């Protein structure tokens, strides 16, 4: 039904991958069922970028970012929630794309149950919300997104218009235009 994107898709320029992930489908299949959503908002994090976890080199926490492209980088932030990223660029370069928001398409009943919310726009609009709605946990860190129950499938069609702006919720590198979203989509985290 859905085919995972190949490693070659992720082994490219991180900004290009961040843009081309818009419209792609995030899919998670587990014992509870299947959840599917269209990726509508991303942020790129580059190795030389002060906001990137890899900016100061490899550590036990960020080592996944330096591994092969097409892996999940899941980390705990602010002592509150997890964030889901996809590792990009060549192995040895610590870069990733944060998936910020997803438009729910399938498994919506499961997303509502996990989130304890009924409104569709409150299910996956923001990185912490989408992780909870999709049942992504720290156990998914370093998961191979090219072969497994958690993956990203190709977009049915490219988004009509992409809006480029600065990233959200960071202090360093906040002025860099590395946030991308589908213009006019009501499921993004913030306008």
The per-residue DSSP string of 143-159 comes to -BTTSSSEEEEPPSS--
> For residue 190, is it within any domain?
no
> For residue 137, is it within any domain?
yes
Residues in Cβ contact with 118 at an 8 Å cutoff, skipping those fewer than 6 apart: 112
Q: What is the pLDDT of residue 77?
A: 81
> For residue 1, is it within any domain?
no
Q: For position 173, which CATH number holds?
A: 3.10.300.10
> For residue 2, is it within any domain?
no
| Residue 83 lies in domain | 7-182
Using a 10 angstrom Cβ sphere, with 0-12 exposed, 13-18 middle and 19 or more buried, the burial of residue 186 is exposed
Considering its fold, how many domains does the chain have in total?
1
Give dist(CA 116, CA 174) in Å, integer: 32
Q: What is the pLDDT of residue 44?
A: 98
Q: What is the pLDDT of residue 157?
A: 83
Using a 10 angstrom Cβ sphere, with 0-12 exposed, 13-18 middle and 19 or more buried, the burial of residue 74 is buried
Residues in Cβ contact with 82 at an 8 Å cutoff, skipping those fewer than 6 apart: 74, 75, 76, 128, 131, 136, 137, 138
> For residue 189, is it within any domain?
no
Shortest CA distance to 141 belongs to which of 29, 61, 58?
61
Contact between 54 and 65 (Cβ < 8 Å): yes
pTM metric for this prediction = 0.95
Q: What is the pLDDT of residue 79?
A: 66
From first to last of its 191 residues, what are the pLDDT tens digits of the chain? Answer: 799 999 999 999 999 999 999 999 999 999 999 999 999 999 999 998 989 899 989 999 899 999 999 999 999 886 678 999 999 999 999 999 999 999 999 999 999 999 999 999 999 999 999 999 999 999 999 999 999 999 999 988 887 799 999 998 888 888 999 999 999 999 999 87
> For residue 177, is it within any domain?
yes
């Amino acid at each position: 039904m859905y085919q995972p994107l190949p490693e070659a898709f992720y082994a490219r320029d991180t900004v290009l991958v961040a843009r081309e992930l818009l419209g792609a489908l995030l899919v998670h299949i587990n014992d509870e069922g299947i959840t599917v959503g269209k990726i509508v908002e991303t942020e790129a994090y580059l190795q030389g970028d002060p906001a990137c976890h890899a900016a100061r080199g490899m550590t036990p926490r960020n080592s996944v970012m330096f591994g092969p492209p097409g892996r999940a980088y899941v980390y705990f932030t602010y002592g509150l929630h997890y964030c889901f990223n996809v590792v990009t660029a060549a192995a040895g370069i610590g870069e990733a794309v944060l998936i910020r928001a997803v438009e729910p398409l399938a498994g919506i009943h499961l997303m509502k149950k996990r989130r304890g919310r009924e409104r569709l726009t409150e299910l996956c609009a923001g990185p912490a919300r989408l992780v909870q709605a999709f049942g992504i946990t720290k156990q998914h860190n370093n998961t191979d997104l090219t072969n497994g129950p958690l993956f990203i499938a190709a977009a049915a069609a490219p988004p009509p218009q992409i809006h480029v702006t600065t990233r959200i919720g960071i202090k360093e590198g906040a002025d860099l235009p590395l946030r991308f979203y589908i213009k006019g989509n009501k499921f993004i985290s913030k306008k």
